[in-house]
Chains A and B, each alone.
Chain A
Amino acid sequence: NAGVTQTPKFQVLKTGQSMTLQCAQDMNHEYMSWYRQDPGMGLRLIHYSVGAGITDQGEVPNGYNVSRSTTEDFPLRLLSAAPSQTSVYFCASSNSPGARGYTFGSGTRLTVV
């Protein structure tokens, strides 16, 4: 039981490049979320999903796309990377956020130069 797995752990991108951050969970959780963590700003919700085929925007969705074709996977796509997207990205999953909170992955540290 691996929990929530994120790849890659580190990535450096040039401005304008695109890439996909991968997230997979093996706990059969319906709910999945993507957060970015920036100093002094806590964790801010980018996108979330309440089940396969259903996604919605969080607080800071601009510049990011998501899809949820399976229960297990929830990739985050950066369409055209900008220096402002330099951050640590966390994926999380849950079967009952209100009661149990979320289980987090180990994060992806992204630098855009």
Chain B
Amino acid sequence: AQRVTQPEKLLSVFKGAPVELKCNYSYSGSPELFWYVQYSRQRLQLLLRHISRESIKGFTADLNKGETSFHLKKPFAQEEDSAMYYCALSATSGSRLTFGEGTQLTVNP
């Protein structure tokens, strides 16, 4: 079975502060990890994926297989980063995407 846990439902930071959204997973095989973002009442958008190692909108995430984590980081938060963030997992050749509970990030001015 595959499971994703995001321990923080709510996270609030000030503009310009660093932000880290935590994601832990459990999966017996080799996982592919993703972060999705959902701005207010909009569709989910892919923010980044582990496999491509890219940085989108200043966000990065490193897969730590030892700690089974895929935390999302940004060194300087912006007000437009306020949104719901979801961590998701798939098997390498899988067809299902399993989501965490989500973290609502608020960046205060």
Contacts and interface: CB of A to CB of B under 8 A. Distances in A.
A42 B100 contact: yes
Contact of B94 (A42, A97, A107): A97
A92 B86 CA distance: 15
A103 B99 CA distance: 14
Nearest to B44: A104
Contacts of B34: 101
Given A41-B101, A42-B101, A45-B96, A101 B43 contact: no
A40 B9 contact: yes
B94 A101 contact: no
Given A43-B99, A101-B88, A107 B43 contact: yes
Contacts of A48: 95-96
A106 interface: yes
B97 interface: yes
Given A40-B9, A99-B32, A106 B43 contact: yes
Interface string A39-63: 0111111001010000000100000
Interface in B78-109: 86, 88, 90-102
B41 to A, nearest CB: 8
B86 A105 contact: no
Contacts of A41: 101
Interface in B37-52: 42-46, 49, 51
B57 to A, nearest CB: 16
A45 B95 contact: no
A58 B99 CA distance: 12
B90 A97 contact: yes
Contacts of B36: 101
Interface string A60-101: 000000000000000000000000000000101000011111
Given A42-B100, A48-B95, A58-B96, 8 more contacts: A35-B99, A42-B99, A97-B94, A99-B51, A101-B36, A101-B97, A102-B46, A105-B43
Nearest first, the 4 closest Cβ-Cβ pairs linking A and B are A42-B101, A43-B99, A104-B44, A42-B99
